[in-house]
Amino acid sequence: MALLNILTEGEETLRKTCRPVEKVTERIRTLLDDMYETMLHAEGVGLAGPQVGVLRRVVVIECPGSGRIDLVDPVIIRTEGSQVGREGCLSIPEKCGIVERPMKVTVQALDRNGKPFELTGEELLARALCHEIDHLDGILYPDKAQRMLTEEELEELE
């Protein structure tokens, strides 16, 4: 496994729409493994293909209690409720915003072996699923933020 470079705000790739994965190959599995290692090293809870310069619809997530989740070609099929909370991003370091997301989200995707599955996440996992799937369509959380936190607010949180 290898650590990948995480692109930051201003990089064109972050604003592009990703292509579907035609077939889950060993190369895709290696990408997922490298993304997972990169996400853990950066102390994040999710990472999407475009954040590491790969315009493919792949995502890795690990929230407290969720274990590792690999998603290939994920699609949100159902949402319920609403939550408003703080959100950050490995591609937008040292910033946070207040974003409204669904409280519960159901996603259809392929696993790392190309098998279809459904996953339902609530609270932080629902937020992470929406956030990472947005990345696949070139959407960054500030696009949806009610407001960005000031430096003073960020300092208070630390």
Catalytic annotation, residues: 132
The 3 state secondary structure assigned to the chain is CCCCCCCCCCCHHHHCCCECCCCCCHHHHHHHHHHHHHHHHCCCCEEEHHHHCCCECEEEECCCCCCCEEEEEEEEEEEECCEEEEEEECCEEEEEEEEEECCEEEEEEECCCCCEEEEEEECHHHHHHHHHHHHHCCCCHHHCEEEECCHHHHHHHC
pLDDT recorded at residue 157: 73
Structural domains of the chain, with CATH: 12-157 (3.90.45.10)
pLDDT recorded at residue 114: 97
pLDDT recorded at residue 153: 85
Q: Render pLDDT for 64-101 as a digit per residue (tens, 0 to 9).
A: 999 999 999 999 999 999 999 999 999 999 999 999 99
pLDDT recorded at residue 152: 87
Q: Residues of the chain whose pLDDT is less than 70? A: 158
pLDDT recorded at residue 1: 74
